[in-house]
Structure 1
Amino acid sequence: PILRAAVLKGDQNISAPSMLRLLGNRFSEVPPELLQVRGLRSLSLGGNRLHSIPPDIQELRSLEFLYLGGNFITAIPSELAKLPSLRYLVLCDNKIQSIPPQLAQLHSLRSLSLHNNLLTYLPREILNLVHLEELSLRGNPLVVRFVRDLTYNPPSLQELAGRTVKTRNVPYAPSDLPDSLVRYLSLASNCPNPKCGGVYFDSCVRQIKFVDFCGKYRLPLMHYLCSPECSTPFSSASQSSTSQSESDSEDEASVAAHRMQKVLLG
């Protein structure tokens, strides 16, 4: 009743609350009334029984602080990335298995707490969180054991032909090919290994790449190689520091050391 009254006040143009703390209750879902409090700047729903985050969370455009720790959340909706003012996001102590790359759109984000979840990797796009100062990852499988998935389906004849066309710069006129093949050739992705120069279309190898955020920790980020034989120096954590420094790829060198102030792995 108190929550509904607060929302009704907002509907009547009376000062609506800018902060709501609903910790340690028994909510199994985010109350829809909350999503009507458009001026809400801080929302705490930790220690409840939430299993999901509603996509309509994107309606809280003024939200700066969101605490959803200590629930049973298994997935993060991409709509969460549509909160332009969000600075602090706490998703610790849940059952989250992956991070949607769309979270890289949270350009105001300063702190991201993901400890004690089920994460095995981080998406490459997280590097775009240029204002992120604190990232908490302890208690996730990616910290306990670095995983590598080498499942690989052999390229089709179409992909092999497409790779040859792209890597050898075989000239062709779009008017001489069916539209479907022209579109297919435009979908080529460059292999991230700077020493490879290859491309891939549908057949690739998913691996973990270790990227140095703050000079002390190498975080495992997901990347895609064009074949199992195409390995990069950072596909293994056992490389010596000398060989690592000599073979830094350009994209890693471009990551400023001051971006990440604190990475909590333990």
Structure 2
Amino acid sequence: FNLFTMLYSVPTTHLLPPGGYIPVTYANSHAGIKAFCGRNDGLVCTSSNVEKIFSHILDRGKRVFFMPDRNLGINTAVSLGIGDEYVIADPFSLETLKKAAEKKLVIWNGLCIVHKVFTMDHVRKWRRKDGSFKIIVHPECDPEVVAASDHSGSTAKIKKMVESSPEGSKWVVGTEYNMVNRLKTQNSDKIVEPLSKSVCVNMSKNRRRNLLEVLFAIRGGDYSSQVLLSPDVVKDAKKAIRRMLEQ
């Protein structure tokens, strides 16, 4: 039982609480979830523009129904100064959504297993080990980890902050391990360490060899690896993506 199942088995009127909620989904979500947002005047966001998207909706007097990452939703709410204006949606109880009419933000109770690995113990360990390290984490980390770090931000922000820092800077980075390793390799004039080792097994499935095999297959007229979606899903998902790009 998950968000995708819920969206396609429960009437839309039961999922969108009363009070003018606009559905917003993270860019890494399923195409069907993007389509759900597209059909209901919603849009897609990334960790780089999520604050801008939330603000755009709230400034219009609407409310946000955010999916699927709980931590990204909470940390964005805190950053926007509305940390007391959200409710976590329990995927096993529609009563949560029915009671959410007074909140500006309803957040789905999902999480990223990669960023859930990072804990306050990891932060405290690095503080004790060397206080000269700056800790920067992704906003999919638990709110207390984000609050205890020196900085938080999207993958692009993390990359920019490390790259633009002075030679000899020391960084502890709380995000996917292979990303941290690339930062370390590409910034050899700095010290870059992972907050803890947390590998995304799904991202690791995408290898250059696989890409090369697909490209050779296409050149030979073999389209067996093509991902096919229904026209309705494509149409509605594009609406959600287009709305994001128009902001």
TM-score range with shorter-chain normalisation?
A: under 0.3
TM-score (norm 2): 0.25
Higher RCO structure, 1 or 2 (CA under 8 Å, sep 6+): 2
Which structure has greater helix proportion? 2
TM-score (norm 1): 0.24
